[in-house]
Amino acid sequence: MSHYPPKNIPANERLIFALDVPDAETALSLIDQLGDSVQFYKLGLELFLSGAYFELVTELKQRGKKIFADLKLFDVPATVAAAVRQLDKHQVDFCTVHGQDAMLKAAADAARHTQVLAVTALTSLDQGDLDDLGFQCDARTLVLSRARRALQLGCAGVISSGLEAEALRQHIDHQLLVICPGIRPVANDDDQKRTVSVAQAFALGADHIVVGRPIRDATNPAAAANTMQQQIQSIFQ
C-alpha cells in the first residue's frame, strides 16, 4: 500500500471501469455482466456520441453506481461552466476538463455535486509526443505544474499516469485526488504508453484507477473485475 495517508474512499469504488463501447445495448449487456463487481463507471466520448449517454447515466444511478463523465471539456470558460452545470443536474460524480486556467476555474466554480478533474498529460503520450507538441519540459514537470494550478483553481483532482503519481504525492497537497488510467496487469503493446499495474498505481499514491480493455476484453469481465477488486481490498485492508 502507498505510504501516503489513504482517503476515506470505499475500497470497491477505487476501481473505475471505462465503459468504452459503441452503443447502449453493448453497454447495458456489460453492466449486467459486471453486476456487483464494479461500482464506478467511466463514460467517455464514444458513448456520448452514441445518443444514449444520459439514459445510461440515469440507469447506472438507479443501480446505485457512481459516474465519471470523461468528456475532456475544452471551450471558452462560460461554455465549459455551462456544460458542468448540465452534468451536475445528472448527479455525475467526476468530470474531466482538458484546458487552461480560466476553463478549470470556470468549471470548478460551476460545480456543485460533480467533482472536476484536470487532465494533466494523456497516458497515450510519451516524451517524444510532448516534444512534438512543443512542451519544453518532461512529463513529470508538466503534470506537477498542471496539478498544482488545478488545485489552486478549485479542482478536486487530476488525471495522471501512475508514473507521475508518486511525484504528485510528494509535491502537491494530499487532498488532491489522483486518478490513474492506463492500468495494465501485464506488459502491453497498445496505444497506452505510460502504464503501470494495479499494485504499482496504488503504491505510488493513486486514489482511483481506471481500467478498460483488461476487463472489457476478458473472457469473463466480472471475474477479471473481481480479481482486481480482491487485489485492491488486500492493499487497503
Active-site annotation, residues: 72
Alpha-carbon separation of residue 219 from 33, 57, 69, 144, 152 (angstroms): 11, 26, 26, 38, 44
- Helix ranges (DSSP H) in the chain: 24-34, 45-48, 53-62, 77-89, 101-110, 127-132, 139-152, 162-171, 198-203, 213-216, 221-236
Query: From CA 52, how far away is CA 113, in angstroms rounded?
Result: 22
Residue type, 71: L
Tally the C-alpha atoms within 13 A of residue 163's C-alpha that lie toward its C-beta: 22
Query: From CA 116, how far away is CA 113, in angstroms rounded?
Result: 10
